[in-house]
Amino acid sequence: MRLFLALLFSLGIVRALPFHPAAGMRNTIDAFPGEKGKLSLYLLYSALTMGENPDGEGNYLSLDLINGISYDFSDNLSLCLGIPLKYDQADGVREKAPGNLELGLKFTKALGRMGYIGIYPSLYLSHKRVQDSLRVLSTGTQDLGLEFVWSIKGERGPSLSANFGFYNIFFRRGKTAATDLAHLSAGIRYPLGTLSPFLEISYDWFIFEDIYYKVDKKLYGGSPLRLNLGADLNLRGINILGGIGLYVTGRTVDGTPPESLYIFPSGNMKFEAFLGFRKDLNFTARTERKKTPKKGVLEGYIVDSATGSLISGEVTVNKRTFSAPEGYFRVEDLPVGPLEIRVSAEGYRDSTFTVKVTAGTTVTHDFKLVPEEKEGFIRGKVTSSKTGKPLAARVMLVDLQGFITATDLEGNYFLQVPSGEHRIRVESEGYLPIERNIVVAADSTLKLDFALLKPSELTLPVIYFDERSYDVKAEYSRHLKQIADLLKKYPQLKLEICGHASSREGKREYLDLLSKMRAEAVRDYLVEKLGIDSTRLSIRAYGMLRPVAPNSTPEGRKLNRRVEFRVLTREI
């Protein structure tokens, strides 16, 4: 029996202590989801002093040592257990005793952009009544409570929580009175890295003032108005909670004070200092990491691509379909890595998105759907430019995510897209991808066939120069335009411009310089006159090292005074 009581004292918790790291406040319970399998241990110390008690006596000191434990059965269901150890000292008279044992169960639910809501029913048990000269340390009753909780957290910024509840709702020993005490609290918490300062205010009031003096076994607790300022610090896996509280009240009944530490008849302000510690353990998560692959969570909103308003729809992930009422959805236990997400809504075009899911985190993504009206079609065939055979390829819109399809065995494809201007892209493994600007008319079909080339299949022209010259002759302008068109057609294509010279044009140092200037002249022509990005072009001077014909004849020397192009893009 002694061992059992010692265990309860060391593992207790009270409503005033936060159950989860997201709240981090003194009096306010948060509604944020927990973490399945997490066990949290708590310890909170609070001290309140006053100059004189309601009987005119001075030097009053009250200490509470609150130990606790909570366990998350799931992300939405948590069990809490606690008991405070209380100590009072007033003019040399000391009294200490365990307070009422609390059993609480918290259930929460996500509301999309409205945050989270939940309920927290609680049961308070006491084996006997303990009271000193001022307050009741233990009631000797079995009391009930019910809190309604709400929380919301921005992507970057503060989180808000609010509670509204009643205590001793159903029964108390020897009495049948209805609700005695109502509670209202709200708080704001602002995360700054590992430190999260918070500010909260709470108010308690008695529903039936003619009852709470008649039932002296009830521990009412709390003050009419409390203001707490503190901070929550995460230090190497341990959360440290600390701050001060300000208490204000002027409530009296026939000049007799209520039986509570925090309710004083004088109307003076009273101050409390509190310091708490919390350690979170998750043995279930450690075991699951060994037995099962890591999972992630995906949540998001379905919105109209034009107006940005939320629309109701469905989301299909891994052959499982989830409804998204009012546009919000949340899917848990997803495998890690890229996933194809199919999103549909009545009156909108079905779309497919690729989202990367990360282990142990929640990925948030907005899915934009285009209305079904004003749509057109694209169909065609993708083949090899060299052989004419059909290719397995992907066809997609570059400017609008989610519009993608694959060719069939005959190389044919079909794509339904919004009408208007788009940029289409076709890609196949081992081939240069093609991009092209297109215009799709509403309720019509645009036929587009694509012939893809491998980098090694490109036929590139050669530019020839006069002796000891690096000027690009006008007759080669059409050849350079052909190079520019290829670069624009294949966005991933990069070329090396190779300059050469004949051995009869000068000494070796001069020939190296001349071949470099010829390559630079071709590059500048492509960049300045034809609008090619210079980062896709590189130059290299070979001098007379790579002749294609003998330098002993005029015809051979003419063939050696040249600029050639070499494909740098090998893997597509």
Identify the residue with better confidence: 288 or 567. 567
Domain segments of the chain: what residues?
2-284, 293-369, 375-455, 458-567
Residue 325 has a pLDDT of 83
How far is residue 49's CA from residue 179's CA, in Å, rounded to a whole number?
30
Out of 2.40.160.40, 3.50.50.60, 3.30.420.40, 3.30.70.360, the CATH code matching 2-284 is: 2.40.160.40
How far is residue 344's CA from residue 337's CA, in Å, rounded to a whole number?
22
Residue 513 has a pLDDT of 94
Residue 211 has a pLDDT of 41
CA of 271: how far to CAs of 2, 51, 53, 230, 247, in Å? 35, 11, 14, 13, 6
Question: What single-letter DSSP state applies at residue 519?
Answer: H
Most confident of 81-90, 231-240, 302-311, 426-435: 426-435
Instruction: Say which range, 43-47, 165-169, 205-209, 382-386, has the weakest mean pLDDT.
Output: 205-209
Percentage above 70 pLDDT, the chain: 75
Query: At the fourth CATH level, which superfamily is domain 375-455?
Result: Carboxypeptidase-like, regulatory domain (2.60.40.1120)
Question: Residue 411, by phi and psi: left (phi above 0), alpha (psi -120 to 50) or beta?
Answer: left
* Token output for 417: 């897209």
CA of 151: how far to CAs of 49, 162, 460, in Å? 32, 6, 65
Instruction: Say which range, 272-286, 436-450, 545-559, has the weakest mean pLDDT.
Output: 272-286
Residue 139 has a pLDDT of 60
Do domains 293-369 and 375-455 share one topology? The answer is yes
Mean pLDDT rounded to a whole number for the chain: 77
Helices (H) and strands (E) in the chain, counts: 5, 34
Instruction: Say which range, 102-111, 126-135, 177-186, has the weakest mean pLDDT.
Output: 126-135
Residue 554, SS3 per DSSP: helix
* Token output for 72: 């998350």
Is 141 a residue whose pLDDT tops 70? no
Per residue, the 3-state secondary structure of 297-319, as one string, reads EEEEEEEECCCCCECCEEEEECC
CB of 234 within 8 A of CB of 21?
A: yes
How far is residue 353's CA from residue 356's CA, in Å, rounded to a whole number?
10
How far is residue 304's CA from residue 313's CA, in Å, rounded to a whole number?
11
Instruction: Say which range, 43-52, 147-156, 355-364, 529-538, has the weakest mean pLDDT.
Output: 43-52
Q: State how beta strands 159-167 and 143-153 pair.
A: antiparallel
Give per-residue pLDDT as tens, 192-251: 878 888 888 887 776 654 443 333 333 334 456 778 888 888 887 788 888 888 766 554
Residue 406 has a pLDDT of 93
Residue 49 has a pLDDT of 61
CB of 377 within 8 A of CB of 398?
A: no
The number of angstroms, rounded, from the C-alpha of 110 to the middle of its chain's C-alpha atoms is 15
Residue 293 has a pLDDT of 52
Is 317 a residue whose pLDDT tops 80? yes
Mean pLDDT of 360-383: 85
Identify the residue with better confidence: 560 or 335. 560
The number of angstroms, rounded, from the C-alpha of 23 to the middle of its chain's C-alpha atoms is 18
pTM for the predicted model, two decimal places? 0.46
Residue 455 has a pLDDT of 84
| Angle, CA of 286, 287 and 292, to the nearest 5° | 105
Question: Residue 305, by phi and psi: left (phi above 0), alpha (psi -120 to 50) or beta?
Answer: alpha
Mean pLDDT of 425-435: 90
Residue 534, SS3 per DSSP: helix
Identify the residue with better confidence: 175 or 86. 86
Give per-residue pLDDT as tens, 473-528: 999 999 999 999 989 888 888 999 999 999 989 899 999 999 999 999 999 999 99
Residue 272 has a pLDDT of 76
For 154-194, strand residue ranges (E) read 159-167, 181-189
How far is residue 333's CA from residue 362's CA, in Å, rounded to a whole number?
10
- Give, in words, the CATH class of 293-369: mainly beta
Percentage above 90 pLDDT, the chain: 25
CA of 426: how far to CAs of 382, 386, 451, in Å? 8, 17, 10
Residues 6+ apart with CB under 8 A from 568: 494, 495, 496, 538
Is 52 a residue whose pLDDT tops 60? no
Residue 7 has a pLDDT of 29
Out of 3.30.1330.60, 3.40.50.620, 3.10.20.310, 3.40.50.2000, the CATH code matching 458-567 is: 3.30.1330.60
